[in-house]
């Protein structure tokens, strides 16, 4: 579970460029809940994920993961319980290492060592996991990741982030750089991992249809805060038009012109 209390992240503090990218934000996410996070450019979505992962300093407030206040814990320690997939397919994997070495490395970082310790058994298990991706990667385990396509890399990055069952899985527009077919494949895998493993997940997306269709809850951010929080029937009964209306309310009528929003 995640509990965020009064979180504030300030960039360039004490300078003329000072800016609160997250401003007193609080959010409770029960274990196993999947939240879609939407919001316009600069709303603070990535900064929120960065604050949860420990990649930006927090000016005020707390981030609890798995019941412990992690606010002062450095990113590399939190990485054991935080899985992350970013928009850029080159970001989540080591390009000059083989598919198998990338996976083996990721298998060692988890909170619970679910995977076998003996090399031969571990390799067999990892091969099974690769085969389950349905991308033929089980036949390319000795190749460097740099040679894989964007979709294959992103599927591998997702497997690496999710397979050790992190306390939280952070997905930041993780299908945005893929073509529609690969985006669908990676979303199918996302659903499977989150649901089968019962992961707690925050998924940032600009695709409002996807945000409505997937996940248990939808959070809309604006200027470093949460301006809408829909779950259950309220989310099920919502529509892209309603979300656009909410965006208009917080941003002003001209937002209807924002093509990014309506795409
Ligand atoms: N390293 C940084 N230094 C200074 N300002 C930053 C930094 N990172 C983000 N910001 C600012 O913080 C605000 C929130 O940025 P953030 O990247 O979190 O937005 P976002 O909601 O993820 O937007 P997008 O949809 O474009 O990815 C923006 O005004 C941005 O310019
Ligand atoms: Mg972002």
Q: Spell out which residues line ligand 1, taking CB within 6 angstroms.
A: 11-12, 19, 21, 39, 41-47
Give this prediction's pTM: 0.93
11, 39, 175, 203: residue to mutate for ligand 1 pocket, most atoms within 8 A of CB: 11
For the chain, 263 residues long, give each residue's pLDDT as a single digit of tens.
899 999 999 999 999 999 999 999 999 999 999 999 999 999 999 999 999 999 999 999 999 999 999 999 999 999 989 999 999 988 889 999 999 999 998 988 765 556 677 888 888 999 999 999 999 999 999 999 999 999 999 999 999 999 999 999 999 999 999 999 999 999 999 999 999 999 999 999 999 999 999 999 999 999 999 999 999 999 999 999 999 999 888 887 654 455 455 44
Q: Give the CA-trace dihedral at 49, 182, 263, 240, to 10 degrees.
A: -70
Number of domains observed in the structure of the chain: 1
At 219, which CATH number?
3.40.50.300
Rounded CA gap, 2 and 194, in Å? 15
Atom of ligand 1 nearest to the CA of 9: 12
Closest ligand to 44 CA?
A: 1
Atom 5 (ligand 1) nearest CA: 11
State the pLDDT at residue 9: 98
State the pLDDT at residue 254: 55
State the pLDDT at residue 218: 98
State the pLDDT at residue 119: 82
- Domain of residue 87: give its range: 2-262
Name the strand (E) or helix (H) holding 243: helix 240-251
Atom of ligand 1 nearest to the CA of 42: 19
Query: What is the per-residue burial (b if ≥16 Cβ within 10 Å, else e) of 56-86?
Result: bebbebebebeeeebbeeeeeebeebbbbbb
Task: Please give the distance, rounded to the nearest whole angstrom, from the Cα atom of residue 87 to the centre of ligand 1.
Answer: 14
CB 92 within 8 A of CB 77: no
What are all long-range contacts of 183-188, with beta carbons under 8 Å and residues at least 24 apart?
185/134, 185/135, 185/151, 185/155, 186/151, 186/154, 186/155, 186/158, 187/214
State the pLDDT at residue 110: 65
| Torsions phi, psi for 132 (to 5 deg) | -65, -20
Atom 3 (ligand 1) nearest CA: 11
State the pLDDT at residue 111: 57
Task: Please give the distance, rounded to the nearest whole angstrom, from the Cα atom of residue 86 to the centre of ligand 2.
Answer: 9
Task: Please give the distance, rounded to the nearest whole angstrom, from the Cα atom of residue 11 to the centre of ligand 2.
Answer: 15
Task: Please give the distance, rounded to the nearest whole angstrom, from the Cα atom of residue 47 to the centre of ligand 2.
Answer: 7
State the pLDDT at residue 255: 46
CB neighbours of residue 188 within 10 Å: 12
State the pLDDT at residue 263: 45
């Amino acid at each position: 579970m995640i509990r965020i209390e009064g979180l504030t992240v300030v960039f360039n503090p004490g300078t003329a460029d000072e800016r609160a990218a997250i401003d007193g934000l609080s959010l409770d996410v029960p274990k196993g809940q999947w939240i879609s996070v939407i919001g316009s450019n600069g709303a603070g979505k990535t900064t929120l994920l960065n604050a949860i992962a420990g990649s930006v300093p927090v000016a005020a407030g707390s981030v609890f993961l798995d019941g412990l206040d992690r606010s002062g814990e450095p990113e590399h320690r939190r990485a054991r319980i935080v899985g992350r997939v970013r928009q850029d397919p080159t970001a989540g994997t080591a390009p000059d290492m083989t598919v198998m070495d990338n996976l083996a490395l990721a298998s060692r970082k988890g909170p619970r060592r679910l995977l076998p310790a003996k090399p031969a058994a571990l390799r067999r298990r990892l091969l099974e996991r690769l085969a389950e991706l349905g991308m033929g990667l089980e036949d390319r385990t000795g190749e460097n990741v740099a040679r894989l396509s964007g979709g294959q890399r992103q599927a591998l990055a997702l497997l690496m982030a999710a397979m050790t069952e992190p306390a939280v899985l952070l997905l930041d527009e993780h299908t945005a750089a893929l073509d529609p077919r690969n985006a669908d494949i990676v979303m199918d895998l996302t659903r499977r991992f989150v649901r089968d493993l019962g992961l707690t997940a925050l998924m940032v997306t600009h695709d409002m249809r996807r945000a409505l269709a997937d996940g248990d809850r939808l959070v809309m951010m604006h200027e470093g805060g949460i301006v809408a929080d829909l779950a259950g029937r309220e989310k099920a009964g919502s529509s892209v038009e309603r979300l656009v209306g909410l965006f208009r309310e917080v941003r002003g009528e001209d937002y209807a012109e924002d093509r990014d929003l309506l795409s």
